[in-house]
């Protein structure tokens, strides 16, 4: 009898752990978004952005930070936006996941980006890009590529139909041949 109780307890604990893990790694409803275009997120200014507006466009998604060795990549992200903005949408997602290199508020981040790099591409409010509180966007990106950001300024390219997603490490610059090729530029 004692063995049966122990087995039942183990099964209950394992089931609870699986349930909690599913909730942590989902959109809060137990599901990773089926499509990138199902998402709605807040911009740095607090406005709502419906991702359905990005259907049919190449996307470059990047997790950013203001106090990182890769922070100068903001200049290349802006150059990509200015040069190819009619064909590519650059989306920046500040994150404080790597050595607390994005400690500021959304307002601080907006001021920093404008003042230091003249950023005019779409920036979003600060989110978590890895770990237990990973945002559903990054859960979706991970489900497509098998990779979460390993550091600040990791990049994902997304095809206009939202089906082909590629991952690039922080070392790959926004204007590199690899990125431009993935964006079909």
Angle 129-93-130 from CA coordinates, rounded to 5°: 5
Please, where are the H alpha helices in the chain?
A: 2-24, 73-84, 106-117, 136-145, 177-182
Catalytic residue (choose from 39, 43, 68, 180): 68
68 in catalytic set? yes
Contacts of residue 20, defined as CB under 8 A and 6 or more positions apart, other chains included, come to none
For CA atoms 28, 14, 150, 98, give the dihedral sign.
Answer: positive
Contacts of residue 12, defined as CB under 8 A and 6 or more positions apart, other chains included, come to none
- Alpha carbons within 13 angstroms on the beta-carbon side of residue 7 total 4
| Residue 14, both tokens | 């394992």
* Residues with catalytic function: 68
């Amino acid at each position: 009898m004692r063995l049966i109780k122990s087995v039942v307890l183990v099964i209950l604990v394992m089931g609870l752990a699986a349930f909690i893990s599913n909730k942590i790694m989902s959109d809060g409803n137990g599901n990773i978004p089926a499509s990138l275009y199902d998402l709605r997120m807040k911009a740095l200014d607090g406005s709502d952005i419906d991702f359905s507006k990005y259907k049919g466009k190449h996307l470059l998604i990047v997790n950013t930070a203001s106090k990182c060795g890769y922070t100068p990549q903001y200049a290349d992200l802006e150059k990509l936006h200015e040069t190819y903005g009619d064909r590519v949408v650059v989306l920046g997602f500040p994150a404080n996941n790597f050595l607390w290199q994005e400690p500021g508020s959304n307002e601080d981040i907006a001021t920093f980006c404008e003042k230091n790099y003249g950023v005019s591409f779409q920036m979003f409010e600060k989110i978590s890009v890895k770990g237990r509180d990973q945002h559903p966007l990054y859960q979706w990106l991970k489900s497509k590529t098998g990779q979460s950001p390993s550091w600040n300024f990791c990049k994902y390219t997304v095809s206009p139909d939202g089906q082909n997603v590629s991952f690039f490490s922080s070392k790959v610059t926004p204007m590199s041949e690899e990125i431009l090729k993935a964006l079909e530029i």
